[in-house]
Amino acid sequence: MTVNRAPLRERPELLKMSHIEKTFRGDVVALKDMNLTVNQGDFISLLGPSGCGKSTALRLVAGLMRPTNGVIEWSGGQGEGDLGVVFQEPTLMPWAKVKDNVWLPYRLRGKSYFEVKDEVLQTLKLVGLERFQNAYPRELSGGMKMRVAIARAMVTKPRLILMDEPFAALDEISRHKLNNDLLALRDAVGCTVIFVTHSVFESVFLSDRIVVMAARPGRVIRELNVEAPYPRTEEFRTSADYAAFAREASDALHQAMEVAV
Amino acid sequence: MSRENAQMVEDKSVDIEEENIARKERLFAIARWTLPSLMMVLFICGWQAYVTIAQVPHYILPSPLLIAKTLVADWSLLWPAMLMTGRLTVLALLFAVIGGLAIAVSFTQSKLVEMAMFPYAVILQVTPVVAIAPLLQVYVDNAFVAALLCAWIVAFFPILSNTTIGLKSTDHNLEDLFTIYGATRWQRLRYLSAPSALPYFLGGLKIAGGLALIGAVVAEFVIGRAGTGLGLASTLLEASYRFNFGRLYAALILISVMGVAIFGLMSLISHLCLYRWHESALKRE
Ligand SMILES: Nc1ncnc2c1ncn2[C@@H]1O[C@H](COP(=O)(O)OP(=O)(O)O)[C@@H](O)[C@H]1O
Ligand SMILES: [Mg+2]
C-alpha cells in the first residue's frame, strides 16, 4: 500500500483561511485572526482545549456559516461533492438502511441508487460493513455506526473531509481500530482531511500536520509536522519517534492552555 | 475440587434464574389475553345474574342475553347503520389526515403562515364541538357535509399539532449535512422532515381515529338522520326515545366495537411503519 503523496512542503494548495474572525451575538469572539493553509493530501489535526473554536473553524470551512471577517478560498473554486463531513455523533438517518444512508450524498445530487450502487457497496466494503448493507442503524454498535458515517462522507470521493472529534465517544480499542482504518481509507480515497481532536496521541498517530489552537480568542498558536512515513501501523504507536512527537504536541497544547488563562 | 463445585453451583443458580424469567414471560404472554377475557366473562355473568335475580325490568337494564338476541334480530337494521357511521368516520379521518398534513407542512414551510393560523386552529379545537355542530347545521345546506365537517373539526387537530412538532424535530446535524450536500427544500422535506415526523404523525393518527368516531357520533346526535341517514348513534337515540333498551345497548356495543377496531387498525399501521427502525418498537431483553 504505497501512495504517491508529495512531501509535505511540495503539496499544491487546496484551501486557504486568511485572517478569519468569527463573533457570535456581537460579543463572543470565537475566532480572531485565524490563518491556515490546507494543502492537497494533508492530514491536519486541529488540537486545542475545548471552547477554542475548533468546531467553529470546521463549520466555517463547511460553509455552514459565514466568517465575520476574513475569507476562505478554495484554489480552483469549490465544486459539487468536494466536501464530506463526519460529526461527533454518527448522525445517521435511523429510518434508512445502512446502504441508503451511504447513498444520501449522491441521492441529494439526483443520482438513483442503481447508478451509484457500485460506489456505495465498494465504500461499505472499505469500512468493513458490506455484510450490514441492509441493516438499520439501531442494529449496529457505536463503532459500526461511525464507520457508516465515514463511508457516507467518503462515498463521493470528496477532495476534503472534515471530522469533528468523531471518535471521542468511543472506547479506546474501537478508537485505535478506527484510527488504523481511517488512515487506510484515506489512502484508498486519496482525500485531504481536517480532523478535530483534543487527544494528543490521536493527533500524532493520524496526522502529518498538527495545528494547535488557543482559546479566548480562538487562534492558531503553533504548527508542527509529524514527519513519520505512512502507512503507520501499531508499531508506530510504540516507537520512540511517536513518543517524541507526542511530547512536542503535548507541550504545545499546554502552552496553548497557559496562553488562554 | 471445591472450586469446581462452586462453579457448578453457580451455573445451576444461573440456570434456575433464567428458567424463572422464562417461566414468568410465558405466564405473562398467556395472561395478557386470558385475564381480560376472563374479566369480561365474569362481568357478563354477573350482569346476567343480577338482572335475573333482582328482576330488573328490561327498559331499565336489559340483560346481556336480551342484548345478544336484539343484536341478532335487529342485525338487518344495525348493520347498515354501522356502515353509515363507519363511512362518516372514515371520511372524516381521511380529510383530517389530508388537511392536518397539508396545514402542518405549510406551517413549517412558512413561519408567517403558522403565526397567522395556529391560534385559530387552537380555538377551533378548544371550542366544544357539540356547541359548533348546531351552527354547522344552520350554515351548511348539505347535512352530510355538515356532519362531516363536525367530525373533521375534532379529528384534524391532533394530526396537525403532532405533525407540526414532528416536522420540526429533525436532528440538527442531519440538517447541516443536508445543507452541505446542497439539498433542495423539497428534498429536505421528503428525505429528512417527513421521516422524522412519521412517528409523531402516527401518534396523532391513533388519537384522531378515536376522535373521528366521537365527532361522527356527535354529528349524528345533533344533526340527526337528515344528513347522515340512520347511523348507529341516531339508532341509539331513537331506541332511547322508544325505551327499546335492548337495541340501545346493541348500538352502543357496536359503537365501541368500532372504536376498538379503529384503534387496533391505527396501532397496526403504526407498528408496520415503525417496527424496523424506531426506538418505540425496540424490544429490550
Ligand atoms: N452558535 C453559537 N452561538 C454562540 N456562541 C457560540 C456558538 N457556537 C460556538 N460558540 C462559542 O464559540 C466558542 C468556540 O466554540 P467551539 O467552536 O464549539 O469550540 P470547540 O469546538 O473548540 O470546543 C465557545 O466559546 C462557544 O461558546
Ligand atoms: Mg467542538
User: Residue B32 above 90 pLDDT?
Assistant: no
Model confidence pLDDT, tens digit, residues A128-170: 999 999 999 999 999 999 999 999 999 999 999 999 999 988 8
Q: Which ligand is nearest to the CA of A30?
A: 1
Range B14-32 average pLDDT:
86
Instruction: Work out which ligand 1 atom sits closest to the CA atom of A52.
Output: 22
| A243 CA distance to ligand 2 middle (Å) | 26
User: Residue B2 above 80 pLDDT?
Assistant: no
- Cα maximum dimension of chain B: 93
- Tell me the C-alpha distance between A108 and A71, whole Å: 27
Q: Are residues B254 and B225 in the same domain?
A: yes
For residue B6, name the pLDDT band (cuts at 50, 70, 90). low
Least confident of A136-140, B15-19, B145-149: B15-19
According to CATH, what is the number of the domain A12-82+160-169+190-261? 3.40.50.300
User: Residue B164 above 90 pLDDT?
Assistant: yes
For chain A, what are the domain ranges?
A: 12-82+160-169+190-261, 86-157
User: Residue B12 above 80 pLDDT?
Assistant: no
CB contact under 8 A, A85 and B277: no
For residues A183 and B5, which has the higher predicted lDDT (pLDDT)? A183
| B184 CA distance to ligand 1 middle (Å) | 28
Model confidence pLDDT, tens digit, residues B216-225: 999 888 887 6
ipTM confidence score: 0.92
Model confidence pLDDT, tens digit, residues B87-132: 999 999 999 999 999 999 999 888 898 888 888 888 888 888 888 8
Range B137-152 average pLDDT:
87
DSSP label at A12? P
For residues B1 and B231, which has the higher predicted lDDT (pLDDT)? B231
Q: Are residues B21 and B73 in the same domain?
A: no
Q: Which ligand is nearest to the CA of A53?
A: 1
CA B154 to chain centre: 13
CB contact under 8 A, B198 and A80: no
CB of B278 less than 8 A from some CB of A:
yes
A95 contact residues in B (CB cutoff 8 A): 195, 198, 277-278
For residue A1, name the pLDDT band (cuts at 50, 70, 90). very low
B273 contact residues in A (CB cutoff 8 A): none
Q: Are residues B144 and B265 in the same domain?
A: yes
| A27 CA distance to ligand 2 middle (Å) | 19
Q: Are residues B11 and B117 in the same domain?
A: no
pTM for this entry: 0.86
Using alpha carbons, select from A108, A189, A214, A23 the residue that is nearest to residue B186.
Answer: A108
Range A17-27 average pLDDT:
89
CB of B19 less than 8 A from some CB of A:
no
Q: What is the pLDDT of residue A4?
A: 54
Q: What is the pLDDT of residue B8?
A: 55
Least confident of A20-29, A105-114, B176-185: A20-29
Q: What is the pLDDT of residue A235?
A: 87
Contact B281, B274 (CB under 8 A): yes
Which residue from A minimizes the CA distance to B273? A95
Q: Are residues B20 and B114 in the same domain?
A: no
Q: Which residue puts its alpha carbon closest to atom 24 of ligand 1?
A: A51
User: Residue B235 above 60 pLDDT?
Assistant: yes
Q: Are residues B28 and B144 in the same domain?
A: no
Looking at CA atoms only, how far is residue A181 from chain B in angstroms?
23
Segment holding A244, helix H or strand E:
helix A240-260
CB of A109 less than 8 A from some CB of B:
yes
User: Residue B282 above 80 pLDDT?
Assistant: no
CB of A140 less than 8 A from some CB of B:
no
Q: What is the pLDDT of residue B278?
A: 85
CB of B181 less than 8 A from some CB of A:
yes
For residue A2, name the pLDDT band (cuts at 50, 70, 90). very low
- Tell me the C-alpha distance between B197 and B13, whole Å: 47
Q: Are residues B181 and B214 in the same domain?
A: yes
Least confident of A166-180, B3-17, B145-159: B3-17
Q: What is the pLDDT of residue B46?
A: 95
Instruction: Work out which ligand 1 atom sits closest to the CA atom of A213.
Output: 22
> What cell numbers appear for B52 in the block?
335475573
B171 contact residues in A (CB cutoff 8 A): 91
User: Residue B9 above 70 pLDDT?
Assistant: no
Model confidence pLDDT, tens digit, residues B241-267: 888 899 999 999 999 999 999 999 999
- The range of the structural domain enclosing residue B72 comes to 64-274
Looking at CA atoms only, how far is residue A4 from chain B in angstroms?
29
Q: What is the pLDDT of residue B257?
A: 94
Identify the residue among A59, A80, A88, A93 best suited for mutation to test binding to B, counting B beta carbons within 10 A and taking the highest.
Answer: A93
Q: Are residues B221 and B141 in the same domain?
A: yes
- Tell me the C-alpha distance between A224 and B3, whole Å: 57
Determine if the peptide bond prior to B62 is cis (ω within 30°): no
CB of A169 less than 8 A from some CB of B:
no
User: Residue A114 above 80 pLDDT?
Assistant: yes
Q: What CATH number corresponds to the domain at position B204?
A: 1.10.3720.10
CB of B282 less than 8 A from some CB of A:
yes
B174 contact residues in A (CB cutoff 8 A): 91, 93
Model confidence pLDDT, tens digit, residues A194-228: 999 989 999 999 999 999 998 888 889 889 998 88
Place of cell 350554515: B139
Q: Are residues B129 and B201 in the same domain?
A: yes
Q: Compute chain B's Rg from CA coordinates.
A: 26
| A218 CA distance to ligand 2 middle (Å) | 12
For residues B222 and B176, which has the higher predicted lDDT (pLDDT)? B176
Identify the residue among B176, B179, B180 best suited for mutation to test binding to A, counting A beta carbons within 10 A and taking the highest.
Answer: B180
Q: Are residues B31 and B70 in the same domain?
A: no
Q: Are residues B86 and B21 in the same domain?
A: no
Q: What is the DSSP string of chain B?
A: -HHHHHHHHHHHHHHHHHHHHHHHHHHHHHHHHHHHHHHHHHHHHHHHHHHHHHT--TTTS--HHHHHHHHHHTHHHHHHHHHHHHHHHHHHHHHHHHHHHHHHHHHHH-HHHHHHHHHHHHHHHHS-HHHHHHHHHHH-SSHHHHHHHHHHHHHHHHHHHHHHHHHH---HHHHHHHHHTT--HHHHIIIIIHHHHHHHHHHHHHHHHHHHHHHHHHHHHHHTHHHH-S-HHHHHHHHHHTT-HHHHHHHHHHHHHHHHHHHHHHHHHHHHHHTTT-GGGPPP-
Q: Are residues B78 and B139 in the same domain?
A: yes
For residue B283, name the pLDDT band (cuts at 50, 70, 90). low
Most confident of A105-109, A172-176, A233-237: A105-109
Q: Which ligand is nearest to the CA of A52?
A: 1
Contact A206, A195 (CB under 8 A): yes
Q: Which residue puts its alpha carbon closest to atom 1 of ligand 1?
A: A24
For residues B6 and B211, which has the higher predicted lDDT (pLDDT)? B211
| B75 CA distance to ligand 1 middle (Å) | 70
Number of domains chain B contains: 2
- Helices A113-126, A142-154: axis angle to 10 degrees equals 130
CB contact under 8 A, A93 and B174: yes
Asked if residue B23 belongs to a domain, the reply is yes
User: Residue B29 above 90 pLDDT?
Assistant: no
Q: What is the pLDDT of residue B276?
A: 87
CB of B285 less than 8 A from some CB of A:
no
Contact B148, B88 (CB under 8 A): yes
